[in-house]
Amino acid sequence: MRLAVLDQSTVVTGRTPAESIRETLVLARHCEALGYSRYWLAEHHNSEAVAGAAPEVLMAAIAATTKTIRVGSAGIMLPHYSSLKVAEQFRVLEAIAPGRIDMGLGRAPGSDGLTAHALNPNAATAADNFPAQVRDLLAWVAGAPLVDKHPFRSIVAQPAGPTAPEAWILGSSDYGAQVAAHFGLPYCFAHFITDGQGCAEAIDLYRHNYRPSERHPAPYASVCVWSLAAETEAEAEWQYSARALWRLSRDRGVFVATPSPEEAAAHAWTETERARAERNRAHAIVGTGPQVVARLQALADEVGVDEVAILSTAHDPAVRRASYALIADAAGLRPEQVALAAE
């Protein structure tokens, strides 16, 4: 089982969103040293909970300051943008770190409706063109010709080079699985969004309908989960309490900065809130390093994936770094095991 990282540059109480961005740069180098296979950056807009609004910019900074770990987007919300512009951005990234760039693509807005409209005035219909956008983007980023009679067929995405980013499709429903299968691309299911609902079905649909491509003759599936490890179960539960309180807001559609465990302890929990938190806890992968790795392996075996990407959030950046270290140690990761491409 390969292990990867998803980082949203989470905003926490008492520190600025700009600090969250700088913490991401530190965490990326930390996870490279631990032997994680790839480091992905999320895209969210107009959010008080997440500072990662421009993954392609963060990718450039991380790619320039690391040597072995793959660096990617999870994802670029393609309906907001021109396929040509995204292709150019990823051609630049590929020039910075040849053979280490992942181009994860998503269809969801990653924002509210008004913000989506501000990013693209045609947002209401843009998502319907997602498959065509993916088709054009794959050609441009690989330096291949667009389909016959395409009005932009003469345009080349620069800078050209001998290697191309590895494209992924991301999703939390059957739709992304079908797109990934159609184009013969790796697929990652966002388990942390749905608490696993629909995950096994989407992965099965992806594998069953997969159309081999030149770069990926066989399907390659991943799942992204929220997880946190600590030295003891008690410490893990204490740190998780902040996530539990944050989830109550998220489940109401309100995205706020992650509180500290102390703030969670001081919260006046109602019976309804406690009951909901207990239901959410049943889906959370929290514990010591060995406990977490055992749960991750069981999940990977259950849904049939080749890789697990871990999203960890904690108020204290040292706690988050320690969590990734404990998981890496329990999983037996080594830097020399970093793979530069999905196989």
pLDDT > 70: percent of the chain:
98
- What confidence score (pLDDT) does residue 343 get? 31
pLDDT tens track for 61-113: 999 999 999 999 998 999 999 999 999 999 999 999 999 999 999 998 777 88
pLDDT tens track for 256-309: 999 999 999 999 999 999 999 999 999 999 999 999 999 999 999 999 999 999
- What confidence score (pLDDT) does residue 125 get? 87
Q: What angle do CA 49, 52, 58 make, to 5 degrees?
A: 160
- What confidence score (pLDDT) does residue 111 get? 79
Query: Is 305 in a helix, a strand, or coil?
Result: coil
Give the confidence band of 334 by pLDDT, cuts at 50, 70, 90: confident
The half-sphere exposure of 154 on its side-chain side, counting CA atoms within 13 A, is: 1
Query: Average pLDDT over the chain, rounded to whole?
Result: 94
Q: By the 8 A CB rule, do 3 and 333 touch?
A: yes
pLDDT tens track for 162-203: 999 999 999 999 999 999 999 999 999 999 999 999 999 999
Give the confidence band of 339 by pLDDT, cuts at 50, 70, 90: very low
- What confidence score (pLDDT) does residue 336 get? 55
The span from the CA of 5 to the CA of 156, in Å, is 32
- What confidence score (pLDDT) does residue 340 get? 35
The DSSP-derived string for 209-235 is T----SS-SS--EEEEEEEEE-SSHHH
Q: What angle do CA 32, 13, 104 make, to 5 degrees?
A: 40
Measured torsion, CA atoms of residues 324, 76, 108, 120, in degrees rounded to the nearest 10 = 140
Domains of the chain: 2-229+286-337 (3.20.20.30)
pLDDT tens track for 114-163: 999 999 999 778 889 999 999 999 999 999 999 999 999 999 999 999 99
Q: What is the pTM of this model?
A: 0.94
